[in-house]
C-alpha cells in the first residue's frame, strides 16, 4: 500500500499545504499520513487519503489547543476577552446547568462532556445553543437600553 501512496507524494504535499498553509507542517502531515495508512489492508482512494490528512491536521490543532490556525486569526482586533459586570450579570441569569455546560465547553468536546455527565450529546448541544442564544438576546437588549439612554 505504501508504494502506491508514494507515487503521488508531491500531490499529497500540495494538498497538505493547502490544508494547513505551512510547508513544514504539511511535510509532517504527509509523513504522519504514511504512518497511519502503512498497514491499511483495504483499497483506499485519494479522497480517503485527503480526509485522513485533514483529520491529522485537526487533531494537531486540538492537541495544541488552537481552534483555528494562527494565520487565519485577526490580531488587529482590539476586542478583549475579559468579562465585565454586565456580562457577569448576563451569565448569572442563566440556569445552573446552562452555566456548567458553558464552562465545561471551554476545554472539553461535546463527547467528553457526554461521557463525564452520562447524558446525551444532542442534549448537551441543544442546551449550549439555547444558552448562547439567550446570552446574545440579553446582550442585545442591554445594548438597546444603553442606546436609548444616550
Do 64 and 112 sit in the same domain of this protein?
no
In a domain, 78, yes or no: no
Q: What is the mean pLDDT of residues 75-95?
A: 59
What's the confidence (pLDDT) of residue 71? 42
Q: What is the mean pLDDT of residues 122-143?
A: 83
In a domain, 80, yes or no: no
In a domain, 77, yes or no: no
In a domain, 36, yes or no: yes
Do 89 and 136 sit in the same domain of this protein?
yes
Measured at the CA of 12, the angle between CA 8 and CA 16, to 5 degrees, comes to: 175
In angstroms, the CA 64 to CA 55 distance is 14
Do 65 and 94 sit in the same domain of this protein?
no
What's the confidence (pLDDT) of residue 28? 92
User: pTM to 2 decimals?
Assistant: 0.44
Residue 70 scores a pLDDT above 60: no
Measured at the CA of 59, the angle between CA 21 and CA 64, to 5 degrees, comes to: 80
Q: Assess contact for 131 and 102: CB atoms under 8 A.
A: yes
Which of 13, 40, 72 is the endpoint of a domain? Answer: 72
In angstroms, the CA 66 to CA 76 distance is 18
Do 14 and 37 sit in the same domain of this protein?
yes
Residue 128 scores a pLDDT above 80: yes
**What DSSP string describes 16-28?**
HHHHHS-HHHHHH
What's the confidence (pLDDT) of residue 133? 83
What's the confidence (pLDDT) of residue 85? 67
In a domain, 91, yes or no: yes
Residue 107 scores a pLDDT above 50: yes
68 band by pLDDT with thresholds 50, 70 and 90: very low
Query: The domain that contains 118 carries what CATH number?
Result: 1.10.10.10
Query: Residue 122 sits in which domain range?
Result: 85-149
The cell for 74 is: 485577526
Number of domains the chain is built from: 2
| Counts of helices then strands in the chain (DSSP H, E) | 8, 0
Which residues, in sequence order, are CB contacts of 25 under 8 Å at separation 6+?
Answer: 16, 57, 60
Q: What is the mean pLDDT of residues 3-27?
A: 88
Amino acid at each position: 500500500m505504501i508504494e502506491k501512496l508514494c507515487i503521488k507524494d508531491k500531490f499529497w504535499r500540495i494538498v497538505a499545504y493547502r490544508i494547513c498553509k505551512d510547508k513544514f507542517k504539511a511535510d509532517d502531515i504527509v509523513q504522519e499520513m504514511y504512518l497511519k495508512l502503512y498497514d491499511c489492508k483495504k483499497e483506499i482512494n485519494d479522497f480517503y487519503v485527503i480526509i485522513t490528512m485533514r483529520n491529522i491536521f485537526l487533531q494537531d490543532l486540538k492537541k495544541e489547543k488552537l481552534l483555528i490556525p494562527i494565520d487565519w486569526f485577526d490580531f488587529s482586533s482590539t476586542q478583549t476577552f475579559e468579562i465585565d459586570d454586565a456580562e457577569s450579570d448576563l451569565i448569572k441569569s442563566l440556569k445552573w446547568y446552562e452555566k456548567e455546560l458553558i464552562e465545561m465547553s471551554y476545554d472539553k468536546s461535546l463527547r467528553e462532556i457526554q461521557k463525564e455527565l452520562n447524558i446525551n450529546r444532542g442534549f448537551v448541544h441543544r442546551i449550549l445553543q439555547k444558552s448562547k442564544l439567550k446570552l446574545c438576546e440579553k446582550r442585545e437588549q442591554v445594548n438597546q437600553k444603553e442606546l436609548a439612554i444616550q
